[in-house]
Structure 1
Amino acid sequence: AFQRDLNVVLSRGVWQMFQIAKKEYDKTLEAHAALDFSEVLERAVRLLQQMDEFARSRYRLESRYHHVLVDEFQDTSRAQWNLVSLLVKSWGEGFGLVDNAPLRPSVFIVGDRKQSIYGFRDAEVTVLQDAREYIAALRPEEPARQSIARSARATPALLRFVNDVFENVERADRDDAFTYTEADRFPTPPPGDGSEDVDPPLGLVAADAIEACANGVALEIERLVATGDVRDRETGLVRNVRHADIAILFRSRESHREFEKALQDCGIPTYVYKGLGFFDADEVKDVVALLRYLANPESHLRAAAFLRSRFIRVSDPALRLLTADLAGALGDPEPPAALETLDAEDQRVLMLARDGVQRWRALADRLPPAELLDLVLAETAYAFELRGSRLVQARENLKKIRAIVRRVQNRGYSTLARLADYLDRMSAGDEANAIIDAADAVNLMTVHAAKGLEFPIVFVVNLSRGAGGIRPPIRVLTDDGAGEPSVSVGEFESAADEDLKARDREESKRLLYVALTRARDRLYLSSVIKDGVWRPGGGGLGEVLPSALGALLVQASSSTANASLVWTQKSGAQQVLRRCPSPATLADVPHKGRADRLRVPLGNTPVAVDRFAPLEDIESAQWSSVTAVVAGQAGLPPAQAAARDQALSADAARTLKGRLVHRLLQHCGEHDARDQTVEALAHALVRRDERLGVEDVAGTVAEAIRVFKIIRGHEEFSTCRLDDCLFEVPFSFKGSGNTIVLRGTVDCLARATDGSLTVFEFKTGRPSPDHRAQLDVYVAAIRALFPEAAVEGRLIYS
């Protein structure tokens, strides 16, 4: 009773403080003539409710909008639904301007209560049921509900697994409880009908440490990329696994670093998605350390961060020896007394840094921050640090932080001190990594970020990690379950607190459902198992996972476990799960996957990716296609060569056949050689606009397939593994002593196991002398791109 009475007193104090803060907040908004999102929604609802004062505007809205569609309705708040319901209220009452329209008005909401995962944004899963009843009452004579039960996304094995998991999830007796009834189950064919793969599409990765789990995930990804198959989303045909086919999902965003590091150690490219890790990236931390130091060079803490950044790279022992005056070690006119105690490399690095710092500090008040940052990046050759498997992501992140600095600078007068404070505030948020367009990289993201997405292969990791965190000292609930608000302060725990835990548990079930249904072909579960016991943390996905799966994860963490584990249901049905090895270190593990084979030279950009020489003036350069130059060398006048090329391109059937042959070589892997598969793929690869002007599309496709098989079976090309080939490789090339820039496209560039490269040029017509000259130009261009590789050329005729 004492604790309850004390909570009442403290709640009154909190209420008074809130009133003061709210008053000041409202005054600030009014001074800036602004509204926050909640207030915009509240005022809109209030205006719609005031029929007399708002009638004219309401009728204008009705006359303009006759149909309402609300997608992802399960994530709608009560206030948002109130707004929608007020807009359509008159439609069921038979009055209003829209009721006389030729087409009756309609409201259409799309949602799945099993995927309501935004409770922290005021979404209420019960709103979906309320809306359903409301809409059904608008026109009782018409059916109001349509449901979709069949999934076209996942394989039958994964759908059966999802059914089994949520049939075994503990049920709660609440209005907002997660339910999985017979109507929710995915219809699937019975197991053993030939639709199963020999390699189980389900897997477990478990170990006693998060680092070992991350290593296990990385090794399994390496295996899948080297030997695995998935269904192509566009064609539905089987093809090899790519890095971009894979996603690693987390419950919360604090635990991705170990997995990112393990993937990098295996040479696997990664992309950390939406709200994960921008200010945790090394290149961004380096830039922030530089700007914070230049804003306050007298700070020892900021000097230490700058000394340890990759701009300087002072070693840890040297940093300890300089601890007495870190700021002075960089900024004092005289070198520090401890300089002689450093090793030779640290001495050299520190003296170079001191020289640079003197210039940069002198320019700090004269140059805009963005220009000063660019100057430091250039003088320190920082681009050298952006290498390895994160090269593309690191460069995009560096572009993004530079853009942020420039954007802040362009808003008005901005000192380095203000900029550093702004970056400090930003780093406390959830800024996302720079987006990489069409990157072939493994995606790391939270389950919330994955909502609405799908991937052929999904790893749901850190299942045992809790997500509760430290309980807020003041907890305010607008609804305690009985329609009344509740406030709890400090250690006092009210019935509403217990109800909140139950709500969060039900939302965790829905979050698990979203995570498992992101996969199309393969699904893996991963968790840390401490001391051989399944002990999931509160608020995590593992807390709501069926205990039988927890027991299987314990088995998988044992080094003596079988390569496959079996989960048997009450009905007798069985799920086979692959146990993935999880070594504590990757030092002694051989890496022989496709990722390793393609890493150099085809997996990266050419060596000279960052050049600091002045750009060449290309305005005065002459540009020409390889075919035009080769024709000129063969004595064909330019006008005649252009007329020949135009005549060839005008032949739609011939053009389509040539394109199809190249596309089949690019898309049809070793596992897709069946006639029916090749024919289906060929027709799928024909674009709609390409069918125009072709009288016999089927005949053209058949001829393209015939040519494809001849080329694919050629003795010089049949030994090439298609996964080690790049097709349609464009280039611009200026040979030594040549003033003309040649442009062309290599049909196929293949890499052998010894690192040598072969340029294949495919010809569907009769042999011609200029074909060899054309191939020689292509070989010269590839030699310029890859100077350290042996390059040869081959002509393949059909």
Structure 2
Amino acid sequence: VLNNILPYARLAFAEADQIRRLELLGKAFLKADGAAYEPAKAFKKVLLDRLPDLPERYIEAARAILEVSDRLALFRMLEGTAAALTVARWLIARYEHLKRSRGFLDFNDLITRTVALLSRPDAGAWVQFKLDQGIDHILLDEAQDTSPDQWEAVKKLTEEFFAGLGQREAVHRTMFAVGDEKQSIYSFQGAAPDSFAESRQLFAGRVRDAGFSFADLKLTWSFRSSDDVLAAVDRVFADPGIGRGISHDPDALSHKAIRTDAPGYVEVWPSIGAEMVDEPDDWTQAVDHAHAPAVRVAENVATTIAGWIGNGEIIEGRGKRLGPGDVLVLVRKRDSFVHALTRALKRRDIPVAGADRLSLPGHIAVKDL
């Protein structure tokens, strides 16, 4: 380790530029992954006997380098964020100018202007009075993906629903909302699952204060999955600290399967991280990418499937031997793992449909043209 520390340390103390000096000190005192060396392994016993305080002083120096490096990274992130916001501010202003000049309204404009209209003290009540004559029921689907502004519009539209007698005394106005906080995926459009829970409490109070019944129903039956899979999901989120990450419901998750006779099995594999692999200096030599996490996971999956087929695995509940067409691999996105898995399966002579979509400009064969 000293052979690594001393050369970089000499260069660092001779460097006038502070940023460059910090980088050299990092190379001298820290490992490639940014962590400090273990003093007992980094320095020989003879040296430690001569300098008993060396480990403490080394750890102190490494900690100082890490602290300054973190602060520098934060500053760079701040600079980058400020630059991005400057560009975004100009783009938004330009976009708004183009909309106004052409008389256009986008989706967000329709929502915000509706809320603004219904909230105006001089016109909001009149608009609600007119709407009250034509709206009998409001149905809100995928409520977990409803933004606060959209909820505000719904609240304004339903103010007269539960405020006593309306324009049509014989009509009983109702509202129905269905959603699942765990399936909220449109936060980039302003969706706020928190608003779902808050609005449910608000409407429950309004309805009951008006003397009507409010039904808060939970749909716990699954038509798609099996008991084994659902039980595994419930077990993962049984911890209150973890459960709060997906739902504001204080009750523990409990799912039940309609298909009670459907087989199921859940197996959790250990995660695979990246490994440091030295690439050859000679560019003509092939680079071994077999240690990439995606490739290693693909090899494990392909080996498992080959074992099932080779050992005559019987599909539970169907009584037939498993074949290549009985296996479906679900992925979060079509990335390098999909291609690695396809190659791994083909090397084992296992028929595979492969990816169902191909980006021609992004394919290596097209890039090489």
Q: TM-score, normalised by structure 2?
A: 0.56
Match of 1:27 among 93, 97, 106: 97
Contact 1:45/1:83, CA 8 A, preserved across alignment: yes
* Change beyond 3 A, Cα 1:24–1:210: closer
Distance 1:20 1:144, change over 3 A: same
1:82/1:278 CA distance change after superposition, 3 Å: farther
> 1:228–1:241: 8 Å Cα contact kept in structure 2?
no
Q: Distance in 1 between matches of 2:351 and 2:181?
A: 40
The 1:242/1:258 distance shift into structure 2, 3 A limit, reads: closer
Could you say which residue in structure 1 is the equivalent of 2:36?
none
The reply on whether 1:147 has 2:221 as its aligned counterpart is: no
| 2:63 corresponds to | none
Native 8 Å contact 1:73 1:109 kept in 2: yes
User: Are residues 1:112 and 2:184 paired?
Assistant: no
Tell me the distance in 2 between the aligned counterparts of 1:128 and 1:210: 37
What amino acid sits opposite 1:213 in the alignment? Answer: V
Q: Distance in 2 between matches of 1:20 and 1:94?
A: 48
* Partner residue, 2:118: 48
Amino acid aligned to 1:259? L
CA spacing shift, 1:187–1:25, aligned 2, 3 Å? closer
CA shift, 1:83, in A, is 1.7
Distance 1:264 1:57 in 2: 65
Q: Report the residue type matching 2:295 in the other structure.
A: E
Asked if the contact 1:66/1:105 (under 8 Å) is kept, the reply is yes
Residue 212, structure 1, aligned to residue 296, structure 2: yes
Q: For residue 158 of structure 2, what is the aligned residue in structure 1?
A: 88
Partner of 1:268: 352
Residues 254, 178 of structure 1: alpha-carbon distance in 2 compared, 3 angstrom cutoff: farther
Residue 43 (structure 1) shift: 1.4
Equivalent residue in structure 2 for 1:203, among 255, 267, 285: 267
Secondary structure in 1 matching 2:330: strand
* Structure-2 separation of matches of 1:224 and 1:70: 47
What is the TM-score with the length of structure 1 in the denominator? Answer: 0.29
2:253 is aligned to 184
Structure 2 counterpart of 1:74: 144
Shift of residue 93, structure 1, vs aligned partner: 1.1
Higher relative CO (CA 8 A, sep ≥ 6), structure 1 or 2? 1
Find out whether 1:159 has 2:243 as its counterpart.
no
Deviations 1:17-58 (A, max 9, x none): 665443322121223332232222211221222264355654
Could you list the per-position Cα deviations for residues 668-718 of structure 1 after superposition, in whole angstroms to 9, with x for gaps in the alignment? xxxxxxxxxxxxxxxxxxxxxxxxxxxxxxxxxxxxxxxxxxxxxxxxxxx
Structure 2 counterpart of 1:684: none
Partner of 1:139: helix, strand, or coil? Answer: helix
Given candidates 315, 331, 338, the residue that maps to 1:229 is 315
**CA 221–33 in structure 1, closer or farther in 2 if over 3 Å, else same:** farther
Q: How does 1:119-518 map to 2 (within 5 A)?
A: 119-140=187-208, 141=211, 142-168=213-239, 170-171=241-242, 178=247, 182-186=251-255, 201-205=265-269, 209-221=293-305, 223=308, 227=313, 229=315, 243=325, 246-250=328-332, 255-263=337-345, 266-272=350-356, 278=359, 282=363, 305=367, 308-309=368-369
Q: SS of the residue aligned with 2:214? A: coil
**Letter matched to residue 152 of structure 2:** N
AA partner of residue 123 (structure 2): E
Please show how residues 512-531 of structure 1 align to structure 2 within 5 Å.
none
| Equivalent-residue separation in structure 1 for 2:354 and 2:77 (angstroms) | 49
Letter in 2 for 1:50: R
**Structure 1 residues 214, 55: closer, same or farther in 2, change over 3 A?**
same
For 2:107, the equivalent position in structure 1 comes to 37
What is the one-letter code of the residue matched to 2:99?
Answer: L
Name the residue aligned to 2:4.
Answer: none
Residue 162 to residue 38, structure 1, CA distance change in 2 (3 Å): same
CA contact (8 A) 2:342 2:352 kept: no
Q: What SS is found at the alignment partner of 1:68?
A: strand
2: distance between equivalents of 1:182 and 1:212?
39
Q: Give 1:158 deviation, angstroms.
A: 1.8
* Distance in 2 (alpha carbons) for counterparts of 1:201 and 1:280: 39
Looking at structure 1, the residues matched to 323 and 219 of structure 2 have their Cα atoms a distance apart, in angstroms, of 29
How far the C-alpha of 1:214 sits from its partner, in A, is 1.1
Q: CA deviation at 1:279?
A: 5.2
Residues 208-243 of structure 1 deviation map (CA, whole Å, 9 limit, x = unaligned): 642132133245456479855377xxxxx8887784
Query: Cα distance 1:134–1:258, how it changes in 2: closer, same or farther (>3 A)?
Result: same
The one-character-per-residue Cα deviations of 1:53-105 (angstroms, maximum 9, x if unpaired) are 355654454444322222221222211211222221210112544x5354x22
The CA distance in 2 between the partners of 1:196 and 1:6, in whole Å, is 54
Q: Which residue of 2 aligns with 1:551?
A: none
1:161, CA displacement in angstroms?
Answer: 1.6
Task: Summarize deviations over 1:495-516 as a string: whole Å, max 9, x none.
Answer: xxxxxxxxxxxxxxxxxxxxxx
Residues 224 and 26 of structure 1, relative CA distance in 2, 3 Å threshold: farther
Paired with 1:167 and 1:73, the residues of 2 have a C-alpha distance of 24
Indicate the SS of the match to 2:138: strand
Tell me by how many angstroms 1:126 deviates: 1.0
Taking only aligned residues, the RMSD between alpha carbons, in angstroms, comes to 4.6
Paired with 1:6 and 1:213, the residues of 2 have a C-alpha distance of 34
* 1:581-600 Cα distance to aligned partner (Å, 9 max, x none): xxxxxxxxxxxxxxxxxxxx
Letter paired with 2:102? H
Partner Cα separation in structure 2 for residue 245 and residue 6 of structure 1: 47
- 8 Å CA contact 1:149, 1:186 repeated in 2: yes
Alpha-carbon separation, structure 2, partners of 1:264 and 1:10: 44
Q: Which residue pairs with 2:3 in the alignment? A: none
CA contact 1:263–1:270 (8 Å) conserved in 2: no
Question: Within 2, Cα distance between the matches of 1:56 and 1:48?
Answer: 9
Work out whether residues 138 and 176 of structure 2, in 8 Å CA contact, stay in contact via their aligned partners in 1: yes
Q: 1:164 to 1:47 in 2, by over 3 A?
A: same
Deviation string, structure 1 residues 297-341 (Cα, Å, up to 9, x no partner)? xxxxxxxx4xx34xxxxxxxxxxxxxxxxxxxxxxxxxxxxxxxx
What residue identity is the alignment partner of 1:250?
R
Q: Distance in 1 between matches of 2:124 and 2:233?
A: 49
**CA distances 1:243-284 after superposition (whole Å, capped 9, x unpaired):** 4872413278675433344456532113447xxx635664xx
> Conserved in 2, the CA contact under 8 Å of 1:135 and 1:144?
no
| Counterpart AA for 1:186 | H
SS in 2 for 1:145: coil
